[in-house]
Amino acid sequence: MTAVAYLHAPEHGHAAGWIAPLRAGLPEVTDLDFQRLHLFDGFLIDLLTAHPVDAGVGSETRSKRLLLVREELARGGHLATAVATRDGGCGRPSLIQTLMQFICGYHDIDLRDSTGLGHGRLIARHASSPVRDRWLPRLLAGALPGIAITERCGGSRPRATATQATVCRGGAWAINGTKTWISRLNEAAVFCVFFTDPAGRLSAGVIDAAAQGLTRRPIQPSGLSGWAWGELHLEDVRVRPCDLLGPPGSGIALLREHFAHYRPLVAATALGAAAAACDTVAAHLIARRAAGVISEVRDNALITLGRAYAQINAALLATLTAQRLSAAGDTRAELWGCTVKAYGVDVAYTTVSELTLLVGALGFTADSALAKARRDLNGLLYADGIHDSLYRSAGRTLTTTARPDSGLAELPGPGTMAMAGLTARPA
């Protein structure tokens, strides 16, 4: 037997083994929901067998297949499981989508946008009726939404955005500027774009990806290469009053509410990848022992595996708590969303890096799933919030005059958001 034969992917469907122990602590997740999760796992395995998106597939082919997977999940009834019924979904709790994203990450981090509305949730909750009616059916059918926030100044400073709106004849706004580090650059059907409005406030609008005045400059990333990534240029792109998300000037409140929900999904996806690495390495060591290559697994390997198992499960439980707080509109939701995204991805990246050492050179080949997971997780340290900035935000909250358990002092609570005119439709 050659050394290559020892390293193999985790058994199909084994993601359910990580979720099953959580059952007793999730009363809002029914037995039928767990059956749905099991079916989702199997459905996804069949799709990936027919349309592989692994490290050996070129980036352009992979993005096409990822879009196909999302569309097939929509046709199979899985994409809309946790989308609100008023938006055309099944109305199951958001915890279900969090667990679905854990399963997605278990198979490939590039599946991070495979369930739910993604950034299109902003459209569902804050867009006008005509915009909702236009885009929600397409998103539920598998079309991919994108978001354009970051610029050269960085994503942690949205108030410093240089993308500017000016008033045009007839009341529309013309948007000019450049958004940088934008994922889903070529694949998105619609973008939620954040810009400075004519009054100097941060606002957001919905822009068709085919709109006149949009151009793209792709940049090759070192990880997370499932979707195109790069710069989105806007030149006199028109936004009508009905295209705005929420009232003018509500950009910061929109971002805080949205990412309190979105970041736990990112964390769950990352932790799914770490769980797969844990299973892969354990299976590799079992195979080596069975083949007589080693007589016993060394203590340091056992300790690394055990610690990884504990850290992944602890981070996943915290991630589910963060999603609960977001669903409840709790004032602590942003604090938890920031910390679980930072901590969850930190845990995932560290554990995959340590586990890879236990399989030796096989974990460092170009087509290794472990190597791809490390590259993607390294990218997630910067995507959807740089982890140090998120930790700093949490630390700033914990050192304000408000008690930490009273909510994020910088974050507008429900009353403040209502005063600002931001009224989200109930989930």
3 state DSSP class of 346: helix
3 state DSSP class of 193: strand
Q: Residues 353-362: what's their mean pLDDT?
A: 92
Q: Residues 408-416: what's their mean pLDDT?
A: 33
pLDDT at 298 over 70: yes
pLDDT at 122 over 70: yes
pLDDT at 362 over 70: yes
Kindly report, residue by residue over 50-97, the tens digit of the pLDDT: 888 876 667 778 889 999 999 999 999 999 999 999 999 999 999 999
pLDDT at 423 over 70: no
Q: CB neighbours (10 Å) of residue 16?
A: 16
Helix (DSSP H) and strand (DSSP E) numbers for the chain: 12, 7
Cβ pair 270, 109 in contact under 8 A: yes
pLDDT at 111 over 80: yes
Transcribe 57-104 into DSSP letters: S-HHHHHHHHHHHHHHHHHTT-TTTTS-GGGTS----HHHHHHHHHHH
H or E, element range at 42: helix 31-50
pLDDT at 378 over 80: yes
Its CATH architecture, for the domain 145-251, is Beta Barrel (2.40)
Kindly report, residue by residue over 300-319, the tens digit of the pLDDT: 999 999 999 999 999 999 99
Ordered by start, the domain boundaries in the chain are 145-251
Q: Name 162's Cβ contacts closer than 8 Å, sequence gap at least 6.
A: 151, 153, 177, 178, 196
Token look-up 């495979």 returns: 114
Q: What is the pLDDT of residue 402?
A: 56
Q: Which of 1-15, 150-164, 228-242, 289-303 has the lowest mean pLDDT?
A: 1-15
Q: What is the pLDDT of residue 387?
A: 86
Its pTM stands at 0.90
Q: Residues 198-221: what's their mean pLDDT?
A: 95
Token look-up 């598998």 returns: 142
Kindly report, residue by residue over 320-350, the tens digit of the pLDDT: 999 999 999 999 999 999 999 999 999 999 9
| pLDDT confidence tier of residue 408, bands split at 50, 70 and 90 | very low
Q: CB neighbours (10 Å) of residue 425?
A: 12
Across the chain, mean pLDDT equals 88
